[in-house]
Structure 1
Amino acid sequence: MSASSSSDILARFEKLVRRRAVSSDPAWRMESGEGFLRALGPSPSPFDNSLCWAHTDEENVEAVIAAQMAYFRSLGRAFMWKVYTQDSPSDLETRLLRAGFEVQAHVTLVVLDTARSQPATALPPGVEIRRVDDATGLAAAMKVQEVVWSQDCQWLHDALKEELRTQPDTLSIFVGWSEGRPVCSSWIRIEEGAPFASLWGGSVLPDFRGRGFYRAMVAARAEVARQRDIAHLYVEAGDMSRPILERLGFQALSQVAKCIYRPPGVA
């Protein structure tokens, strides 16, 4: 991917994904004003509330930070502010930390041209990756997530169940099975009206890593995107998944700091 094509894709991502002021999910409300876009979800969690984008510069940044903190504090909600490499000013992350935010994670925004063919992945005998859309399949997907992340994923189960019910055309969940046992899971979300789809949840049980499961899940989801004429897949990749994704043809577009603000008394 050339520098010019990377900048073009990033510009489209900014316009069509990050600054997209609509949500097809009735549980979410988008709020826009002069120079900002917010998303409010069904709970006070910072994973359900975010400042999607804000116009900040050297002159207004402190006022914007204070205004957004005050707004979410008035609602009794925590929220996430994702800081991208291209955001201004260059020390925005430092300013957020000074204001009381904490960094939940540093990730890399990587993107794949879906026209690029994926290398064949030979899975061991008795193994298959398949799409699930029923209660049994969703439970299997969440069982993997709970083991990998060592946490209760009931909230995620409930959210994905509702999303499957209300938006079955934009969400596809995959589970990998080895001799009838769920060993990996992941999902893909289609961005309606945009040439992008996002990959989420790619998790493999520790004993089954290094056998091609992760690559096979990427290939399965890439095929969903190609069938829908989606030009680009994107992932917020952590340190473990980024090398695998880059070997599959994903290219880094931006570094992202996930900054969280929790008002006093909000978990």
Structure 2
Amino acid sequence: MSGLPEPGPGEVRWLAAYDAQLRGASETGQAPSSVDGPVIRIEFANRGMVSYRSLAGLEDGEVDALIARQRDFFAAKGQAVEWKYRGHDVPVDLPDRLRAAGFVPEDQETVLVADSIDIADRLRGRESVAGVTLRPVHDRASIERIAAMESVVWDQDWSWLTDDLVQRQAAGQIEIYVAEVAGEVVSAAWAVYKKGTDFTGLWGGSTLAEWRGRGIYKALVAIRAARAVDLGYQYLYVDASDDSSPILQRLGFVAVTTTTPYVHTPA
């Protein structure tokens, strides 16, 4: 499974819940979608996405035709499309088939899962950092400052994040937390509550370079884990970069699979 060790009983339980609850229809959110066999085509504002729970049982030719139809559906609209591939998906040569159809892989991330109460217990007392104000935010001005901080961290224009977070917060999908020092936003993170599932997703967590290594990231995890327990969400999950994955695994998260966006961009 993409270089991960063979899963134990706990990982099998988490992976089964992840596949059943977080894939397919649950990824559509409020976006328009349509069904093509085992896959769901999701039409987000900036690009399409293909989601599914399993392609098991399809013949090789059927898989290739399915891939081509999704590519062509969005190309006809002039849109790029992301095929959201997980490392335990079948057929095992699916990445090769996606590449052959013109899809290009972006950065691989590791899917980490943990029991909310376990992480909350492990991090109890770690919800604060000396000299840093950690608080929930609800106003647009604070969210604009978060987007500006993200732009600095990633050296890209992340101003689009403001409207994205404002809209999702207004829909009751997320809670946003900020870390400030002397009024400056130095880090931010948000919890994504997957309604109708047992999962809370942990997103964000980017921190200005000069404030890393001081426990801010862990404090934001601790706050969101405790909140997930209060709200009755059994599991936490993260699509973790290579930078955050080791930190989270030391905190008790377990790698269950990987996720890689394969993207086709029309000429």
The TM-score, its normalising length taken from structure 1, stands at 0.89
Structure 1 residue 4, shift from structure 2 partner: 2.1
Alignment match of 1:37 (pick from 30, 40, 49): 40
Give 1:231's aligned residue.
Answer: 234
Mapped partners of 1:71, 1:115: distance in 2: 43
Provide, for residues 94-133 of structure 1, a one-character-per-residue CA deviation record: whole Å limited to 9, x for no partner: 2212221111111110011101013233755321211101
Mapped partners of 1:140, 1:238: distance in 2: 23
Give the partner amino acid of 1:230: Y
Mapped partners of 2:197, 2:127: distance in 1: 32
Give the partner amino acid of 1:261: H
Alignment match of 2:86 (pick from 75, 78, 84): 84
Mapped partners of 1:77, 1:262: distance in 2: 7
Q: Does 1:179 align with 2:178?
A: no
Give 1:52's aligned residue.
Answer: 51
Gaps of 5+ in 1: none
CA contact (8 A) 1:93 1:257 kept: no
Change over 3 Å in CA distance of 1:85–1:40 after alignment to 2? same
CA contact (8 A) 1:123 1:211 kept: no
Q: Percent identity?
A: 31
Mapped partners of 1:41, 1:69: distance in 2: 15
Change over 3 Å in CA distance of 1:125–1:6 after alignment to 2? closer
Give the partner amino acid of 1:104: E
Alignment match of 2:161 (pick from 156, 163, 167): 156
Q: Does 1:137 align with 2:139?
A: no
Give 2:133's aligned residue.
Answer: 128
Q: Does 1:118 align with 2:122?
A: yes
CA contact (8 A) 1:21 1:31 kept: no
Structure 1 residue 164, shift from structure 2 partner: 2.0
Give 1:69's aligned residue.
Answer: 71
Gaps of 5+ in 2: 1-6
Give the partner amino acid of 2:223: A
Structure 1 residue 13, shift from structure 2 partner: 1.4
3-state SS, counterpart of residue 243 of structure 2? coil
3-state SS, counterpart of residue 192 of structure 1? coil
Mapped partners of 2:235, 2:129: distance in 1: 29
Provide, for residues 143-169 of structure 1, a one-character-per-residue CA deviation record: whole Å limited to 9, x for no partner: 22111111111212111112222x1x3
Give the partner amino acid of 1:155: W
CA contact (8 A) 1:122 1:212 kept: no
Give 1:14's aligned residue.
Answer: 19
Give 2:206's aligned residue.
Answer: 203
3-state SS, counterpart of residue 122 of structure 2? coil
Mapped partners of 1:146, 1:118: distance in 2: 32
The TM-score, its normalising length taken from structure 2, stands at 0.89
3-state SS, counterpart of residue 114 of structure 2? strand
Give 2:3's aligned residue.
Answer: none
Structure 1 residue 214, shift from structure 2 partner: 0.7
Change over 3 Å in CA distance of 1:13–1:139 after alignment to 2? same
Q: Does 1:216 align with 2:219?
A: yes
CA contact (8 A) 2:114 2:235 kept: yes
